Structure 1
């Protein structure tokens, strides 16, 4: 028999040495004096082998996966375009929905004489359609002009504000157009002068 001393159990028992008897395969006659055995030498206390790192093998892509990858690559420019377009359109749609909700709330409790005024403005548009026989430009200008005239009679403050903002935007557009035309004419005159001297 072998005599083993050492720390075996965790906790409070781990600090106390104690004796373990193990069979060394010698006959059971007289006990031989043998050196103490460490815990690692006992078969009961062998530590497990370190875990093997799992081998990850990349499997080859199948036909379906290759087809899906190809379709994704082909569709990528269109999806990015759609996302960009959605980002541009989304605020406008939200603004239109908000305007629709506000108009619905306004029409639920309209101010006094709203519906008669709206009827007269709409009638002015119908008269404009009736008078605008012939060209398409008249069919656009006459109804819009008569409806604008009718609305400005009933809502002069709003008409003045709209006319002012529209006038300013028309003026800004005219100034920018004039500057662009002047720049084009100057560049053409410089080219003519260079061609004349060369």
Structure 2
């Protein structure tokens, strides 16, 4: 009787078939959202790529400035920061006060040490505020005129 020869190195051929699981509703929704947001994410990535070198340069200059600050910079910074903390402490109650008081106190503190820059900022802010109020006045006036019934 003859013995069958069994190969140690070969295996019988199997037929395998890959079956992909159907997507759930959540997966389809996420996929649709990703495709819809793709132009916006590409725009953000482009903006980041353009802004990154400028931000790195600004951070480098900031570190350089903090390593060699002008005379009296840190005491001034301390007074301005303390004014902001004091404004936050005094702004108990509404959320608007918590925004206005610290910013106002810090602005007053900074204007004591840097009066020329404060005047320049105040001029620009005043002009901008005037323009916004004028635009608001024109918009309200046009709405008022459009909605008045003529008897």
**TM value normalised by structure 1:** 0.53
Aligned to 1:43: none
Note the C-alpha offset of 1:84.
2.9
- 1:115 is aligned, of 52, 63, 74, to 74
Q: Indicate whether 1:161 and 2:120 are aligned.
A: yes
Deviates more, 1:101-110 or 1:147-156: 101-110
CA change 1:76–1:135 in 2 (3 A) is closer
Q: Distance in 1 between matches of 2:140 and 2:53?
A: 37
In 2, Cα distance between the equivalents of 1:134 and 1:93? 40
Normalising by structure 2, what TM-score? Answer: 0.68
When Rg is computed on C-alpha atoms for both structures, the one with the higher figure is 1
SS at match of 1:112: coil
The CA RMSD over aligned residues, in Å, is 2.8
Q: Which one of the candidate residues 130, 135, 138 is aligned to 1:176?
A: 135
Structure 2 unaligned blocks of 5 or more: 1-18
CA distance in 2, matches of 1:91, 1:172: 31
Inter-partner Cα distance in structure 2 for 1:153 and 1:181: 38
Structure in which a larger fraction of residues adopt helix: 2
Counterparts of 1:101 and 1:145, CA distance in 2: 29
The one-character-per-residue Cα deviations of 1:110-144 (angstroms, maximum 9, x if unpaired) are 10000011011111112112222222222222211
The 1:137–1:93 alpha-carbon spacing in structure 2 relative to 1, beyond 3 Å, is farther
Deviations 1:137-179 (A, max 9, x none): 2222221111111100000011111111111111111111111
Q: CA deviation at 1:187?
A: 1.6
Question: Which has the larger share of strand?
Answer: 1
